[in-house]
Homo-oligomer: A and B are copies of this chain.
Amino acid sequence: MATFAMQALGCEVTAINTVQFSNHTAYKQVKGRKTPAEEVTELYEGLKQSHLDDFDVMLSGYCPSAAVVQEVGKIARESRFKATTKPGSFFWVLDPVMGDNGKIYVNEDVVPAYKALLKDADLILPNQFEAELLSEVKITDYASLATAIETLHRKYRVPHVLITSVTLPPTTTSTPQNQSRASSPFVNSANALQSGKLSIVGSTATSDLKPRLFRLTVPALPVFFSGTGDMFAALMVARLRESCQAADLLTTNHWQSPDDVEATELPLAKAAEKVLASMHAVLVKTMNARSEELKRLDDEAKHELNVGIGEEAGQDKSLQRHLRLTKAAEVRVVRNWRDLVEPQDLNDFRAQVVAVDQ
């Protein structure tokens, strides 16, 4: 997913696979192998000896162990060190994959391993739960979310933060900056949170490490898709570099916007708008295809009921149904690459100011 999404947007990708699995884990059964930390190191050594380690951007995602997290961190630090004399020539997008919805699905020692690396990252992409793990701030409303982001800026010196899968109820602390914005999409979105919307909340720190908070809201589709985290991260890599290039920031440290740039005008916000528009288009198409498969499944079940077969194997049937629906929900990214390259309906995905009274 990540490799293709970056390639579709023109990036030449050097991929180090941290697993080779037969399928993603939402199938609930998987075969294959996790890459040991030593092999990650060996592959990087191989790249170095042939001078193939001159990355502009590094994206790191799921790591199967704390040891792999540490090896990935070494690659990032070494790349950062080589870039010392050329500000902005290396940029690390760190997706600290640890869990979601209050549940960790990696070893506990992965959490401190990521914390130790945060100071070397340029952009981190935790979901709401991962942001809590990293910042040690419980996120219950927009005020605590802002505190979490400020902690990541100040304590860990992470210049860019994007928190995905934010599902907070609208609160009084989340209000438009002034009343003239009362009829803006921001208010609509705040209300819409109650009715199945997902938000992404981001910030690029100012020079004195203050957050500049923005939010983007998308309809929450009623289907679980696997790989959307990797898709988001990969598209952000390409789009952020593009928007930072447009803002002439690629030769500045951490591609950090001047202090007078407002939250919703940040390249980080502009990039996220395009990414969400692309993703929404692809995911809606995937959902529609899955709905057709669901209808076929239901028709088949009705038919079997009518002719009186298949009643005995209830558990197997439920597994078969799960497998077919999971397959039908495979994100249709390859056949819809045009949606990646040229996102439509950008106006539906504009960044909005998040004003928090702290």
What is A's interface to B at a CB cutoff of 8 Å?
A: 4, 7, 10-13, 17, 20-23, 27, 29-33, 35, 39, 42-47, 49-52, 320, 323-324, 326-327, 330, 334-335, 337
Q: Which B residues touch A42, using CB under 8 A?
A: 22, 31-33
Residues of B within 8 A of A23 (CB): 46-47, 50, 52
Q: Are B10 and A327 in contact (CB under 8 A)?
A: no
Bound state CA distance, A11 and B10, in angstroms?
A: 18
In the complex the two chains form, what is the Cα distance from A353 to B165 in whole Å? 60
A335 and B12: CB pair below 8 A? yes
Cα–Cα distance between A101 and B198 once the two chains are bound (Å): 58
Task: Tell me the complex Cα distance, A334–B51, Å.
Answer: 20
| A20 engages B22 (CB within 8 Å) | no
Could you list 7 further interchain pairs (A-B, Cβ under 8 angstroms) beyond the known A4-B7, A7-B337, A29-B46?
Answer: A17-B20, A22-B50, A23-B50, A27-B50, A31-B43, A51-B323, A52-B327
User: Can you name the residue of chain B whose Cβ is closest to the Cβ of A15?
Assistant: B20
Minimum CB distance partner of A335 in chain B: B10
Least CB distance, A83 to chain B, in whole angstroms = 19
Among the interface residues A11, A326, A334, which one has the most CB atoms of the partner chain B within 10 A? A334
A173 to B45, CA, bound (A): 53
B51 touches A324 (CB 8 A): yes
> How many angstroms between the C-alpha atoms of A11 and B334 in the bound complex?
7
CB distance from A130 to the nearest CB of B (A): 27
Copies of the polypeptide in the assembly: 2
The interface residues of chain B lying within 8 Å CB-to-CB of A17 are 17, 20
Assembly CA distance A48 to B276 (angstroms)? 34
B46 lies within 8 A of A30 (CB): yes
CA distance in complex: A22, B46 (Å): 5
Q: Is the CB of A47 within 8 A of B20?
A: no
A50 and B327 contact, CB distance less than 8 A? yes
Q: Nearest Cβ in chain B — how far from A327, in angstroms?
A: 7
**When chains A and B are docked, how far (Å) is the Cα of A211 from the Cα of B256?**
64
* CB-based contact A13/B52 at 8 Å: no
Residue from the list B12, B31, B50, B324 in contact with A323, Cβ < 8 A: B50
Which residues of chain B are near A45, meaning CB under 8 Å?
22, 31
Known contacts A4-B4, A13-B334, A43 near B50 by CB under 8 Å: no
- Identify which of B11, B31, B327 contacts A46 (C-beta below 8 A): B31
Chain B residue, CB-CB nearest to A28: B50
Q: How far, in whole Å, are A99 and B6 apart by their CA atoms in the complex?
A: 33
Which chain B residues border A330 with CB–CB below 8 Å? 12
Contact A20 B21 (CB under 8 A): no
Docked Cα-Cα span, A265 to B49, in Å, equals 49
Partner of A33, one of B39, B47, B326: B39
Selected from B12, B22, B39, B326, the residue in CB contact (under 8 A) with A334 is B12
> What is the bound-complex CA distance between A12 and B10, given in angstroms?
19
Collect the chain B residues with CB atoms within 8 Å of residue A22's CB.
42-47, 50, 52
Contact: B51 with A327, CB < 8 Å?
Answer: yes
Q: Which of A11, A35, A50, A324 has the most CB of B within 10 A?
A: A50
